[in-house]
């Protein structure tokens, strides 16, 4: 097993996968923090499925599936941003967009019969299949996304946890909501490369939700979330290389195991300490 | 005499096409504590939004701290209506106050020693240090409200806007919060606009009262405004203002026991031949 891993690590495809995984892990770690705090799991799911439609359409016209993926998630993000301003409306708009977009996906799929294997790799991930060109594209999108996140990190946090005061202090709450949807679109397109459309939540919900169980400090939670996403992605790739099972199997297992450990073992201790400190201080 | 902190000139405000008030001219003097009273839906929160630069006037003019309202004016602190926070929200009181220092700026905002000192000072001023490092969603309403005040005051504003800061707080917490705000206001040329449906907790602090009902308003000292005659004129139906043990009760004419202090949730527009008195309270 170890011999096989060491042997495979000498190949381009394995190195490409690990390089792409590094960027994907960092992007997803940061983005999942905000996805969890802003309750946007459903929107992630819709972006992901319409990314599938986008890549199916791209393959049909002979374009790059990665570009189609980006186009699909970005158009969906803009649609949700334009119509789903209020939280109450948002889920309906997401559902409406998702239903129609998936219908289109079925159409593209039926127009292109030889699509089945590629469809499988988009639905369940194919990071070990990415080319050098795809890696460059993924790293490029990832770097731009991380710069955008670094610029908006503080006001986005303000707008997320305390929207009324943020608005009063001049934070462009509405524009940030749309900007964050676009960041999500990029993160979803990146994560689909690793775990595929159907398993997207394992990288865009689980790390953020796990980190919340470990600490109440926002900046520390973001760091933990990135570490968890990186361990899941890179660990998943390495285990898959060693055993010939799909990457997504290991990524989902690692992130799920991390959540259970945080929820039942580490988390109660960490948060319990913080609460106890209060009680002692107050008495 | 210094310029007023806020001045409205012939101001008209609409909200979703509904006229809240029109042709309102009044000034809140700098260094005064103003209670803004009136039933729900009378435009108290809208008034704050105009001052914050979040809602434009339909007509007329408003000046805030000597200029037109600006979003994010550092001269203004804002304490929003209390709402309960998710118990699992990964945020400490310290972080909430930190957002008041620099949350509106771009960038990641790595913690610095200087901003930490400001946060510590603000936490100390509201006696919130003992619970500043706990998850904010697990604190009591009173503790959360102390942190809100620290967040509003950490930027050292000249004008503090409070929107029902006492709502849903126990009486003992209400006293603590009003003491904090009153103490801050007396510490310099500082103005407080305090939206509330019950004037009694802040009666000792109040210089001026603005009472808004159904597009009409009255402004003056509590003794001038909170009288049976003025309130009856404002509401357009008979209202008694009672003073009991130093408290002021505003009671509509058919409000049962006479000590009913419930406030109407929507102010009905009452046709002249069918007056149905509300049970307002101040």
Q: Based on the structure, what is the number of domains in chain A?
A: 1
Give percent of chain A above pLDDT 90.
Answer: 61
> Can you tell me which residue has the tokens 């009905």?
B268
Contact check, Cβ <8 Å, A274/B134: yes
Contact check, Cβ <8 Å, A218/B151: no
pLDDT grade, residue A259 (50/70/90)? Answer: very high
CB contact residues (below 8 A), chain A span 218-237, against chain B? 218-219, 221
Q: What is the DSSP string of B251-274?
A: EETT-TTTT-----SS-PPPPGGG
Q: In the structure encoding, which two tokens stand for residue A68, read together?
A: 């189609």
**Option in B54, B99, B133 nearest A158 (CB):** B99
Q: Is A169 on the interface with B (CB under 8 A)?
A: yes
Q: Is A155 on the interface with B (CB under 8 A)?
A: yes
**Option in A151, A157, A219 nearest B103 (CB):** A157
Q: Which of A216, A275, A282 to mutate to test the interface with B (most CBs of B within 10 A)?
A: A216
Tens of each residue's pLDDT in chain B, 282 residues: 568 999 999 999 988 888 888 899 999 999 999 999 988 888 898 999 999 999 999 999 999 999 999 999 999 999 998 777 888 888 999 999 999 999 999 999 888 899 999 999 999 999 999 999 999 999 998 899 999 999 999 999 999 999 999 887 888 888 989 999 999 999 888 999 999 988 999 999 999 999 998 888 999 999 999 999 999 988 888 888 988 888 898 888 654 333 334 444 333 333 333 333 443 443
Q: Are B159 and B75 in contact (CB under 8 A)?
A: yes
Q: Is A113 on the interface with B (CB under 8 A)?
A: no
Q: What is the complex's ipTM, to 2 decimals?
A: 0.87
pTM: 0.89
Could you tell me whether strands B191-195 and B159-163 are parallel, antiparallel, or unpaired per DSSP bridges?
Answer: parallel
CATH code where residue A207 lies: 1.10.3470.10
Contact check, Cβ <8 Å, B91/A154: no
Q: How far apart are CA B89 and CA A161, in angstroms?
A: 8
Q: Are B42 and B115 in contact (CB under 8 A)?
A: no
Q: Is B16 on the interface with A (CB under 8 A)?
A: no
Residue range of the domain that includes A93: 2-282
Q: Is B105 on the interface with A (CB under 8 A)?
A: yes
Q: How confident is the model over A194-236, as pLDDT tens digits?
A: 889 988 999 999 999 999 999 989 999 999 999 999 999 999 9
Which helix (H) or strand (E) segment holds residue B240: the answer is strand B239-244
Contact check, Cβ <8 Å, B103/A167: no
Contact check, Cβ <8 Å, A168/B54: yes
Q: Are A37 and A160 in contact (CB under 8 A)?
A: yes
Q: In the structure encoding, which two tokens stand for residue B274, read together?
A: 């069918």
Q: How far apart are CA A186 and CA A207, in angstroms?
A: 17
């Amino acid at each position: 097993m170890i011999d096989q891993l060491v042997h495979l690590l000498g190949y381009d495809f394995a190195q490409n996968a690990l390089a792409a995984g590094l960027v994907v892990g960092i992007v997803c770690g940061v983005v999942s923090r905000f996805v969890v705090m802003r309750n946007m799991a459903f929107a992630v799911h819709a972006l992901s499925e319409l990314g599938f439609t986008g890549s199916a359409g791209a393959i049909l016209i002979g374009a790059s599936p990665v570009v189609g993926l980006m186009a699909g998630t970005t158009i969906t993000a803009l649609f949700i941003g334009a119509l789903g301003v209020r939280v109450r409306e948002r889920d309906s708009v997401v559902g409406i967009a998702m239903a129609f977009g998936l219908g289109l996906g079925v159409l593209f799929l039926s127009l292109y019969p030889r699509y089945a294997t590629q469809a499988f790799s988009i639905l369940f991930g194919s990071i070990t299949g990415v080319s050098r060109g795809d890696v460059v594209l993924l790293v490029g999108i990832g770097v731009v996304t991380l710069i955008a996140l670094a610029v908006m990190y503080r006001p986005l946090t303000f707008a997320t946890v305390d929207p009324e005061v943020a608005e009063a202090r001049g934070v462009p709450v509405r524009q940030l909501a749309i900007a964050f949807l676009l960041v999500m679109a990029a993160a979803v397109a990146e994560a689909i490369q690793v775990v595929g459309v159907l398993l997207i939540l394992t990288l865009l919900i689980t790390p953020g939700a796990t980190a919340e169980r470990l600490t109440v400090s926002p900046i520390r939670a973001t760091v933990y979330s990135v570490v968890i996403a990186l361990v899941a992605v890179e660990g998943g790739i390495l285990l898959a290389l060693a055993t010939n099972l799909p990457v997504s199997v290991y990524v989902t297992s690692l992130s799920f195991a991390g959540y259970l450990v945080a929820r039942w073992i580490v988390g109660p201790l960490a948060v319990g300490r913080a609460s106890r400190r209060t009680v002692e201080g107050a008495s | 005499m210094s310029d007023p902190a806020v001045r409205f000139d012939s101001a008209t405000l609409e909200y979703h096409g509904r006229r809240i008030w029109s042709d309102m001219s009044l000034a809140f003097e700098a260094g005064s504590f103003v209670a803004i009273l009136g039933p729900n839906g009378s435009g108290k929160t809208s008034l704050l939004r105009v001052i914050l630069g979040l809602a434009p006037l339909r007509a007329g003019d408003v000046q805030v701290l000597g200029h037109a309202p600006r979003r994010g004016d550092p001269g203004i602190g804002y304490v929003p209506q209390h709402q309960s926070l998710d118990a699992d929200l990964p945020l400490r009181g310290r972080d909430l106050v930190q957002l008041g220092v620099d949350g509106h700026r771009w960038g990641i905002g790595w913690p610095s020693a200087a901003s930490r000192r400001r946060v510590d000072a603000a936490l100390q001023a509201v006696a919130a240090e003992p619970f500043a490092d706990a998850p904010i969603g697990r604190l009591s309403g009173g503790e959360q409200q102390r942190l809100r005040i620290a967040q509003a005051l950490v930027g050292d504003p000249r004008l503090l806007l409070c929107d029902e800061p006492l709502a849903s707080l126990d009486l003992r917490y209400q006293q603590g919060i009003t003491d904090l705000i009153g103490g801050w206001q007396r510490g310099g040329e500082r103005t407080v606009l305090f939206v509330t449906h019950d004037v009694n907790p802040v009666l000792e602090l109040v210089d001026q009262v603005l009472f808004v009902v159904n597009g009409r308003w009255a402004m003056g000292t509590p003794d001038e405004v909170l009288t049976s005659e003025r309130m009856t004129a404002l509401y357009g139906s008979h209202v008694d203002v009672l003073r009991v043990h130093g408290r002021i009760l505003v009671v509509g004419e058919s409000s049962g026991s006479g000590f009913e202090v419930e406030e109407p949730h929507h102010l009905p527009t009452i046709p002249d031949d069918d007056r149905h008195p509300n049970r307002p309270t101040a």
